[in-house]
Amino acid sequence: MSTPLRDRRKRWEDLSSSRFDLLVVGGGITGAGVALDAASRGLRTALVERGDFAAGTSSKSSKLVHGGVRYLRQAQFGLVHEALGERKRLLRNAPHLVRPLPFLFPTMAAHRRHRGRARLLGLAARIGLGVYDLMGGRALHRTRKVSLDEAVTMMPSLDIERVTSAFCYYDAHTDDARLTLAVARTAAEEYGATLMNYAEVTNFLRDQERASGIEIRDRHGDLGACTVRADMIVNATGVWADEVRSLVDGENPESIRPAKGVHLSVPATRLPIDTAAVLGVAGDDRIIFVIRWGTHTYIGTTDTDYDGSLDDPACTPEDVRYLLEAVNAVVTEPLSAADVTGTWAGLRPLVRTGKGATTDQLSRKHAVIVGRSGVVTVTGGKMTTYRRMAADAVDAALTVTSRGGRRGVRRMRSRTAALSLIGAPAPPATGFPRDTVASGPSDILTDTYGTEADDVATLMADDPALAESLVPGLPYLRAQAVHAVRHEYALTLEDVLSRRTRALLLDAEATAAAAPDVAALIAPELGWDGGETRRQVESFVALAAAEQEAPLHLAGAVPTGPPGPAGNAAPVATSTREA
Q: First vs last Cα of the chain: how many Å apart?
A: 47
Length of the chain: 579
CA pair distance 547, 535, nearest whole angstrom: 18
Supply the DSSP symbol for 77. H
Strands 199-207 and 45-48: unpaired
**Residues 6 or more apart whose Cβ sits within 8 Å of residue 53:** 27, 28, 32, 177, 180, 181, 184, 195, 197, 489, 499
pLDDT band at 567 (very low <50, low <70, confident <90, very high): very low
- Label residue 430 by pLDDT band (50, 70, 90): very low
Q: Which residues are registered as beta bridge partners of 288?
A: 279
Q: Please give the helix or strand (H or E) that residue 368 lies within, else none.
A: strand 366-370
DSSP secondary structure letter of residue 571: P
Give the CA distances from residue 153 to residues 272, 331, 531, in Å, rounded to whole numbers and listed in that order: 10, 13, 52
CA–CA gap between residue 315 and residue 60 (Å, rounded)? 12
Residue 564: what pLDDT?
Answer: 39
What average pLDDT does this structure show over 137-153?
Answer: 92
Domains of the chain, start order: 7-58+177-256+362-418 (3.50.50.60), 444-547 (1.10.8.870)
Task: Decide which of 432 and 127 is more confident.
Answer: 127
What pLDDT is stored for residue 404 in this prediction? 52
Mean model confidence pLDDT for the chain: 89
Query: What is the rounded CA–CA span in Å between residue 434 and residue 275?
Result: 13
Task: Report how far residue 375's alpha carbon sits from residue 272's, in angstroms, rounded to the nearest whole number.
Answer: 48
Whole-number pLDDT of residue 435: 46
Closest listed residue to residue 273, CA positions, set 243, 296, 240, 304: 296
- Identify the band that residue 359 occupies on the pLDDT scale cut at 50, 70 and 90: low
Largest CA distance in the chain: 73
Residues 200, 216 contacting (CB under 8 angstroms):
yes
